[in-house]
Every structure is written in C-alpha cells, then in structure tokens.
Amino acid sequence: MIRALAIGFLIAVLLAALLPARYEKQFRDSPNAGPSRQFPLGTDDLGRDRLSRLIYGTRVSLLLATAAALLSCAVAAALGGIAGLGIADTVIVGAADLFLSLPWLFLLLMVRACLPLNVSPMVSVTITFLLLGALGWAAPARVVRAAVRKLSVSDFMLQARATGCPQWRLLWRHLMPNAMPILLAQLWITIPAYVLAESTLGMLGLGVMEPLPSWGNLLRELEGGGIAGHPWLLAPVLLLAAVVGSFQAVVEREDYSV
C-alpha cells in the first residue's frame, strides 16, 4: 500500500512538473508578494512567480537526476559486468575502491569547483549532469560485479556453456537479463541520491545557474532567514523531502532478488 502511494505520488509530481511554467516572467509591480489567487506561493525579489519556478525547477532536478543516474548505471553495468566476468577485474575494482574511499560529496564539490563557474544555465545543467553521472558509478559497479560473478557460476549458465552457447549469447541472452533487477534497484537508489546532490550543489552556487530554476538554487532563497512568517517559502524543502522519501519507500518495498 505504501509503495503504491509512493509511486502514485511520484507520477503526480512528474506530471505536474510537465505543466507549462513561465519561470522567467517578471511581474515588476508585485515583487516579494505573498500568496494570492494569482500567485499561490507568492513572488520572489524579482517579481517571478514562485509556483511556476518550483514547477519548472522540479522538472529540471528530476530529469537531471534521472539522466545522471542512467549514465552512472550504464557505466556501472559495463564496468561491473566486465569485472564480474574476470576481465580487468583488479583494475576496475581498484578504481572503484579509490572512488569509494573518498567522500563522494566532497569529491563532487572539489571537481565542480575546479570547473568554470560563470557559465550559461544550459552549460551548468550539462556540467552538473556529467559530474553526477561520471563520479557516481563506483558503488553500483561493485554491486553489479558481485551479481555477475554469482550468476556466471549458476546452474543455468553452466548448462548453457555445456550446450556450446557462444560467449556473446551467454552475455546478452542469459547474463544481462538476469542482472537487470539488480541494476534497476541501483537506479532507484541513485536517483534520490542525485536529487540531493544537485540540491547541495545548487545551494552552494555550483549547480544549475540562474535564471534557470532547480531545487538547489530555489533553496538558496532560504539563506536569508526570512522564513519566519513566510511558511510558503518552505515549499521546495517539503517537496524535496516528499520526493526523496517516496523513492526510498519504493526501494525498500521492492523485491530485486536475482
């Protein structure tokens, strides 16, 4: 029941994020306006509708996190699968251990800080997406490697080898389909982690750049401490917590056994 509600909520958030939203339009006669029929969440310092920016920021953050998770899981599937088959196992496992030995968030912040900060919004989206995807492969790769090693000595694989099944057919028709549940679990786990990572980068000014909204740079508005008497400013925080909690509920209640 809880999982069904979580999935329903995530679908509703995704559909809402696809609604038209003029995030850049300014209402110069209504800066810092409170909630009203025209502006349900008020406006910001520049007179931009907070609800429109939250809708568009949800679209950016969810799509960015999903794209980055797909990239890192694809890299993890390739490297973990190769290592699980005993090819370059020592090199791949050593690289994964090196990545995992470093605090991932600090590594992400360090690499992002070394890149140009004064870039266009679309370039900042691309940089954030590539960083999240490129630096987050190590943990899922180790999981995929363990699954592939286990599957490679299973009875059905031994029987397929005994019948003379070619190596490529073993990989694509027998091994990978049975490893997909594990990879799917890693995808579900990685998306909320990347949502939080993007939010952290955005709050520090290292993520998606203005005027393009994302959950990260929307949360930067809370730095001024003007929440007292303005509870509607917490809308991005509440939505972020609800989305991450829903992803966690889906993962905890799904059976991804091989």
Alpha-carbon span 111 to 128, nearest angstrom: 10
CA-CA-CA-CA dihedral for 221, 222, 224, 228, to nearest 10: 130
Contact predicate 201/109, CB 8 Å: yes
C-beta atoms surrounding 40 within 10 Å: 14
Residue 58 has what pLDDT? 95
Structure confidence by residue, pLDDT tens digits, 94-129: 999 988 888 877 888 888 888 887 888 888 888 889
Complete domains list, the chain, with CATH: 2-20+48-252 (1.10.3720.10)
pLDDT of residue 87 exceeding 70, the answer is yes
Instruction: Tell me the average pLDDT of the chain.
Output: 86
Cis check for the bond before 211: say yes or no (omega within 30 of 0). yes
pLDDT at 146 over 60: yes
155-166 pLDDT, tens digit each: 877 777 777 777
CA distance 239 to 242: 5
State pTM to two decimals.
0.86
pLDDT band at 253 (very low <50, low <70, confident <90, very high): low
> Rounded to an integer, what distance in angstroms lies between the CA atom of residue 98 and that of residue 102?
7
Average pLDDT over residues 195-205: 89
| Contact (CB, 8 A) for 254 and 21 | no
Residues contacting 230, CB < 8 A, separation 6+: 34, 42
- How many angstroms separate the Cα of 208 from the Cα of each of 30, 85, 118, 204? 25, 39, 11, 10
Cα–Cα distance, 160 to 110 (Å, whole number): 47
